[in-house]
Each structure stands twice: as structure tokens, then as C-alpha cells.
Amino acid sequence: MQFYGLELSDRHAALDLVAGITQIEKGNYLDFIVDRPEGMKGYMLQLTTFGHGKIFDGKQHFAVKRGQLVLFSPNTIQHYYRQPECQYWHYKWIYFHPKPQWLKWLNWTSCRENIGRIIISETVSFQEISQLFSKIAQESESNDLLKKEMSSALLEYLLMKCVSVENAKESPPIDSRILRVCDLILENLSQNFSVEYFANQVFLSESRLSHLFKQSLGVGLIQWREQQRISEAKKLLYFSTLSISKIAKSLGYEDSLYFSKIFKKHTALSPSQFRIGELSGEIEM
């Protein structure tokens, strides 16, 4: 069974598999603290898709953002809410009682206070996992026994995929200076800072930064910033009513026509076509 725009309630806890998406906006009816001191009998798997949330593990709070997977074990405190400084927090979730053979996929390496944590850094992996959440919700909604079995099989695959993503982190880590530049870009998407500016922030020459950045992420710094702007533009086109010109300016494009050209280069659609397609459900985020 799936629930869009809802938070899991205690009356659903007896079901073997429940899935949905919770879309919290500041001040809306879902903008409250979920507090289950004793947790629940089954597992809760969450994927943040937009905005920021905060989770309390019984000892300390930690932030979650797009690409963060969280796994609550049975009878583990569940205390979470929208990060106050952020307007939105959207996350997909699956509540389930595992089959015995799944338990090996639920022993995450990164786990504190019985709450597993995995950060999905690759866009392709994030999209695949996000789509699995949606597909599981869709299949589990049906009363058809075959579809319910399909949702169960998809969940097993999803759990394996999560472990696969976590194991992939054993590859050589990205240079901390490159990660710092990425953070600076994401924190200042509306600013057209030069490569020289970023190089000065991490005490590298422009040529050295450009070489390290492309070596680490596979694309140049300016191209990567453009990709992040387009990703943010998609969210704003879908989740806000801002005009295209205002969205363009908020992302550092003073010329909305140029913004539309760049957007179409990445998506094959104009911003207005993308917005219409999203609202009609024709495009997968």
C-alpha cells in the first residue's frame, strides 16, 4: 500500500509492506515532529529526495539531505523533522517486515544507535534507487497477489542495491579540496565565481584545480556547476510557482533565454515544457 503526501501511522504498522512519499513544506499539515520513542516493530527505510531534515538517534541530531538513505531497525527511536532553516523536506519511505533471507542486507556498515546511514553520491545510483522506491510503492498498492510479490522482490533488490552503493565507497576517496569546492558551488549556485576564485579558496593553482576536478568527477568545474544548476532548476520548476525568469536569476542566469537554451541542452525540453510534463506526470524526476 502506498501513501503520497502522508506520514506512516501506527495503524499501518501491522502491514508487511507500506510505502509512500512525505512532502513537507514549512507550515503545511505534515510539518510536525515525528516522535516514536520506542520505534516500530518493523524496519523503516527512508530516502531524502529534496530539502533537508533532522534526525535524533537518542544521543545526538544529524542532518539528512538529498541522496541520504536512513534505515531504522525495529524498536529503535524514530524522531525526525524538517530542518528549521530549510523550507522543504521530501523523502520516500518503505516500512517492512523482512523475510529471513533479507537480514544479511540489513547489516549496514555505517550504523549508529541502530540507525543505518548511507549517502548516495552518484547521480545514476540515486536515480535508480529513487525509482525503485516509487516502483515498490506503485506495486504494493495493488490488491493483486502477483503485484504484491513483485513489490517484495523489488524491495529485496533495493536492499541489495543499498549495500552495493555502500561497498562502492571503498574506492579511493575524492580529494578533500575537490569536495570543498563542490560544497562552495552548491552553497553559491547563484554566483558566477571564476575557477580562479575556487582555486584561491583551496590554495591551488587554476590549472591544478581544473585537472584534479576533472580527474575526480569526470567533468570540468564549470560543467559540473551547470549540471547542479539544471538539477536545482528541475526541482524549482516542479515544486514552486516561481516564474522561469526568477528561477533563472536565482541560479545565476541573468538572461532567461540563455537559461532556457542551457536547460534544453541538458533535458531536450524547454523549462516550460518540462514544467508542463512534470505536472501532468509524463516526466520522471
- Please, which pLDDT band fits residue 8 given cuts at 50, 70 and 90? low
Is 215 inside a domain boundary?
Answer: yes
Higher-scoring residue by pLDDT: 11, 133: 133
Select from 110, 141, 168 the last residue of a domain. 168
Same domain, 260 and 134: no
* Per-residue model confidence as pLDDT tens digits over 42-90: 899 999 999 999 999 999 999 999 999 999 999 999 999 999 999 999 9
- Looking at residue 25, its pLDDT comes to 94
We report the CATH number of the domain holding residue 275 as 1.10.10.60
Select from 168, 191, 216 the last residue of a domain. 168
- Looking at residue 168, its pLDDT comes to 64
Same domain, 150 and 210: no
Lowest mean pLDDT among 43-47, 72-76, 115-119, 123-127: 123-127
Q: Which domain holds residue 8?
A: 2-168
CA–CA–CA angle 37, 40, 42 (5° rounding): 150
Share of residues in the chain with pLDDT > 70 (%): 88
Compute the distance between CA of residue 226 and CA of residue 252 in angstroms, rounded to an integer.
10
The cell numbers describing 43, all together, are: 524496519
We report the CATH number of the domain holding residue 118 as 2.60.120.280
Q: At what angle do helices 123-141 and 145-168 cross, to 10 degrees?
A: 160
Same domain, 195 and 161: no
Select from 120, 137, 168 the last residue of a domain. 168
Helix (H, G, I), strand (E, B) or coil at 156: helix
Same domain, 129 and 252: no
What is the mean pLDDT of the segment spanning 102-115? 89
DSSP state of 265: H
What's the chain's average pLDDT? 87
- Looking at residue 6, its pLDDT comes to 52
Same domain, 188 and 224: yes
Q: Are strands 2-4 and 17-25 parallel, antiparallel or unpaired?
A: parallel
CA–CA–CA angle 182, 183, 184 (5° rounding): 90
β-strand partners of 82: 53
- Please, which pLDDT band fits residue 165 given cuts at 50, 70 and 90? confident
Contact 162, 119 (CB under 8 A): no
The cell numbers describing 227, all together, are: 549540471
Lowest mean pLDDT among 29-43, 143-157, 177-191, 241-255: 143-157
Compute the distance between CA of residue 183 and CA of residue 175 in angstroms, rounded to an integer.
13
Compute the distance between CA of residue 77 and CA of residue 263 in angstroms, rounded to an integer.
43
Reported residue count of the chain is 285
Same domain, 88 and 193: no
Compute the distance between CA of residue 210 and CA of residue 223 in angstroms, rounded to an integer.
11
Q: Scan for cell 516509487, then name that residue.
A: 134
Number of structural domains found in the chain: 2
- Looking at residue 157, its pLDDT comes to 92
Is 48 inside a domain boundary?
Answer: yes
Contact 232, 210 (CB under 8 A): no
DSSP state of 256: H
Same domain, 160 and 204: no
What is the mean pLDDT of the segment spanning 110-120? 93
| CA distance readout (Å), 176 to 203, 205, 213, 228, 242 | 12, 16, 11, 19, 35
β-strand partners of 25: 88
Q: Which amino acid is at 10?
A: D
Same domain, 217 and 255: yes
The cell numbers describing 216, all together, are: 575526480
Same domain, 62 and 98: yes
Same domain, 154 and 58: yes
- Looking at residue 267, its pLDDT comes to 84
Tell whether the model's pLDDT for residue 268 goes beyond 90. Answer: no
Instruction: Kindly report the three-state secondary structure assignment for every residue of 182-222.
Output: HHHHHHCCCCCCCHHHHHHHCCCCHHHHHHHHHHHHCCCHH
Same domain, 132 and 36: yes
β-strand partners of 24: 89
What is the mean pLDDT of the segment spanning 168-174? 59
Is 284 inside a domain boundary?
Answer: no
The cell numbers describing 39, all together, are: 520505534
Higher-scoring residue by pLDDT: 134, 171: 134
Contact 67, 119 (CB under 8 A): yes
Same domain, 255 and 134: no
